[in-house]
Amino acid sequence: MANTDLVIPRHADVRAVLADERFVVPVAEGGARSGTLAWLRGAVCRFSEGAAHDRRLGVVVKSLDEADPARLRRRARERVLAGEAPDLASISALGEALGVTDLDALAAAVPAAASGYLTGTGRDGADAAVAALARLLGPGPDEEVANRIAVYMQAYEATAGLVRKALPASRRPEARGFPVEAVIAETLRFDPPVPAMRRIAREPAAAGEHEIAAGGTVTLDLRAANRDPAVFADPDRFDPARREPRHLTFGTGRRPCPGADQAVRLAAGVVEALNELESVR
């Protein structure tokens, strides 16, 4: 019988699942009309496996290579100081680095398209927003355009979530005297903005001491794994001085987040600016 929704909390077991080719991500079907949310999900690396995943990830990595993290940090900070909404400043800074000419159109379309990116069910206007992004980030072969869009889809809510966690963390007494990046690194461990990931066993496989039947799903509990006492000393203490870079919030193994560096630097710029604005109020 397939186990359904088995929760894996141990750090070593989460790592093992993420490295194991028998555990795959839910794959979104292709073939939907070009320029729709369903088309986007069916064409991006995030919801694919195998050769298609590798090819699509290549498009994302090529884009991200052009997005120098130090510049992203500086521009995200400047944009928030100039009054741009924090969630959108990261997207605009990325768009600027990647040569997008109409940043207002980008900032208008990304939230609506992102509303349905992970689930497949967006709010009204999600399809129109995806079509607008395809026009803005095209021309090019469909798959390439889709994965250029994917950069913003992956960045938008995850980075906004990181800022929402890191801002109060940066104001904790334990954060005093530490660089924002160190506070963000510890926030990612202590209070992960995306606290769980899913995998499906495509053939019988083991996860920790559990046998998972083909088709069974596992939920990887990143919050628990990041506080596993086998890995982290005094795991419930918020401590930006930690040196272990072993939180699992950006994934690991077969398909870690390719935007981790950019995400940390964007969030650092935004958090720094929000704290500067707060200090002059």
The number of residues in the chain equals 281
**Interface with ligand HEM, residue 74, by CB under 6 A:** no
Is 75 exposed, middle or buried, given 0-12, 13-18 or 19+ CB atoms closer than 10 A?
A: buried
Please, what is the minimum distance in Å from the beta carbon of residue 225 to ligand HEM?
A: 12
Site for ligand HEM in 140-169 (CB under 6 A): 150-151, 154-155, 158-159, 162
**Interface with ligand HEM, residue 73, by CB under 6 A:** no
Q: What angle do CA 209, 252, 70 make, to 5 degrees?
A: 160
Q: Which residues pair with 6 in a beta bridge?
A: 218
**Interface with ligand HEM, residue 57, by CB under 6 A:** yes
Please, what is the minimum distance in Å from the beta carbon of residue 1 to ligand HEM?
A: 25
Instruction: Compute the distance between CA of residue 48 and CA of residue 142 in angstroms, rounded to an integer.
Output: 15
Between 5 and 124, whose beta carbon lies closer to ligand HEM? 5
Instruction: Compute the distance between CA of residue 186 and CA of residue 166 in angstroms, rounded to an integer.
Output: 9
Please, what is the minimum distance in Å from the beta carbon of residue 259 to ligand HEM?
A: 2
Please, what is the minimum distance in Å from the beta carbon of residue 83 to ligand HEM?
A: 22
Neighbours of 239 (CB within 10 A): 17
Between 162 and 183, whose beta carbon lies closer to ligand HEM? 162
- Binding-residue total with ligand HEM (CB under 6 A): 26
Binding residue (CB under 6 A) for ligand HEM from 60, 76, 201, 268: 60
Site for ligand HEM in 172-211 (CB under 6 A): 193-194, 197
**Interface with ligand HEM, residue 46, by CB under 6 A:** yes
Estimate the crossing angle of helix 103-114 against helix 142-170, to 10 degrees: 80
Write out the E strands in the chain.
Answer: 6-8, 23-24, 196-201, 205-207, 210-212, 217-221
Q: What angle do CA 61, 62, 67 make, to 5 degrees?
A: 85
x/- mask, ligand HEM, residues 215-234, rule CB under 6 A, reads --------------------
Contact 235, 229 (CB under 8 A): yes
Residues of this chain that bind ligand HEM (CB under 6 A): 25, 45-46, 53, 57, 60, 150-151, 154-155, 158-159, 162, 193-194, 197, 249-251, 255, 257-259, 262-263, 266
